[in-house]
Amino acid sequence: MLRAVAGILLAAQISVAAASGSDARAAVDAFLARLGEVNVADLVIEQTLTLFDPAGRHPQSNGEQRVYVKLPRRQRVEQTIDGQKEVRLTVGDRIWVRAPDGKTFEAPPPGTRDPTQLLVPFRRTGADLLAEWKVLGVRDDVSYVTRSGDRTVTVIGARPGERAVPQVWLDPERGVVRFVTREKLPSGESVIDLALTEHRPLVGGFALPHRQEAFVDGKLIVRVVVRSAAVNTGLDDALFDPDALRRGR
């Protein structure tokens, strides 16, 4: 599950500017409006990833991923870690996996939010995004404004000082730069902290983070670094066909 996750950016000093749920909605709407008429039909990302030991101190495994996204809700992730190749196909809320041994099966949906959905907010309204976040425990009736490094962000779902509750950190120009959720893992309930940094312009007003990290209970678990990204390449629908996946395509 954690192999596909992304995110970093631990916040610095908190400047207190309390906001209401309506301010959260306004912040989301303003970001989406900034994207204007940007048209993204599909996205291809090539990236490297590093998995760390359970203590989050030392690299344990390395791999590569190619991520195909076709809006609104289709995704294919081809990843090779330590020589083992896996393909994961998501269509709507359903997931199919072709394991390294060549067997294909349908997998249960993961508890954590796929970070690609955070990176590509197109074809959704502010109400849509807030509703999606609310399913993951993010309250839409509390928010505040703070500083993260040299940037001003709106924190949705938490009050100043609350670090371990589900929350979204929204940069007015870059979009989601941090996403915190609470998830049930085999070891028990944990705080999963995703953060996204090193944004680079991709198309129109849309910037893609090129560095992503994930922490579980404060320990670094995975780091992802984007090598290349391309939009609107005309991806073939067969890439997202579960039957084709079963046939080894």
pLDDT attached to residue 17: 34
> What is the percent of the chain where pLDDT is above 90?
55
Q: Which two tokens stand for residue 45?
A: 């990302």
Rounded mean pLDDT, 54-66? 91
> What is the percent of the chain where pLDDT is above 70?
86
Strand-pair partners of 248: none
Backbone angles phi, psi at 110, to 5 degrees: -75, 160
Average pLDDT of the residues of the chain: 84
User: Do 228 and 46 form a contact (C-beta atoms < 8 A)?
Assistant: yes
Strand-pair partners of 75: 69, 90
Q: Which two tokens stand for residue 174?
A: 């870059």
175-185/17-20 β-pairing: unpaired
Rounded mean pLDDT, 168-182? 92
pLDDT attached to residue 235: 95
114-149 residue pLDDT tens: 555 556 666 678 888 888 888 889 999 999 999 988
pLDDT attached to residue 117: 59
pLDDT attached to residue 41: 87
pLDDT exceeds cutoff 90 at 54: no
pLDDT exceeds cutoff 50 at 79: yes
Return the higher-pLDDT residue of 188 and 16: 188
Backbone angles phi, psi at 187, to 5 degrees: -85, 0
Of the pLDDT bands very low, low, confident and very high (cuts 50, 70, 90), residue 234 is very high
89-103 residue pLDDT tens: 999 889 999 999 999
Q: Which of 52-61, 107-116, 195-204 has the lowest mean pLDDT?
A: 107-116
Q: With a threshold of 0.75, does the pTM exceed it?
A: yes
Rounded mean pLDDT, 70-92? 92
Strand blocks (E) in 82-187: 84-91, 94-98, 104-107, 142-148, 151-156, 167-171, 175-185
Q: Which two tokens stand for residue 109?
A: 């949906």
Spatial separation of the C-alpha atoms in residues 22 and 130, rounded to whole Å: 11
Q: Which of 12-26, 135-149, 177-191, 194-208 has the lowest mean pLDDT?
A: 12-26
pLDDT exceeds cutoff 60 at 175: yes
Half-sphere exposure of 85 (CA within 13 A, CB side): 5
Rounded mean pLDDT, 185-194? 87
104-107/94-98 β-pairing: antiparallel
pLDDT exceeds cutoff 60 at 4: no
pLDDT attached to residue 179: 92
Backbone angles phi, psi at 134, to 5 degrees: -65, -35
pLDDT attached to residue 9: 28
